[in-house]
Amino acid sequence: MIYKIPLEFVYKYFWNGTEMAKEDYLSSLNEIYDKTKATEGYESDAFYSAEELLAVLESN
């Protein structure tokens, strides 16, 4: 018989060198992260040339 055990990863969360609970870490992150400037990651059609990428990086 084959048993399937779900994978549960264990993460340690640190903020400025202090270990904290996941909820506290996410709360601290949300305090400083401006979600209005967030974009979706891994857009399959979003490719840039080297020049375009530099322009994007320099404009932010």
Cβ 60 vs Cβ 53: under 8 Å: no
Say if 33 falls within a structural domain.
yes
Domain enclosing residue 27, as ranges: 12-40
Say if 36 falls within a structural domain.
yes
pTM assigned to the model: 0.48
What tokens were used for 59?
Answer: 């404009």
pLDDT value, residue 54? 92
Say if 17 falls within a structural domain.
yes
Say if 3 falls within a structural domain.
no
Say if 18 falls within a structural domain.
yes
pLDDT value, residue 44? 64
Say if 7 falls within a structural domain.
no
Please give the tally of structural domains in the chain.
1
Dump pLDDT digits (tens) for 1-46: 666 777 778 899 999 999 999 999 999 999 998 888 877 776 666 6
Say if 1 falls within a structural domain.
no
Q: In sequence order, which residues have a C-beta less than 8 Å from that of residue 15 and are 6 or more positions away? A: 24, 25, 28
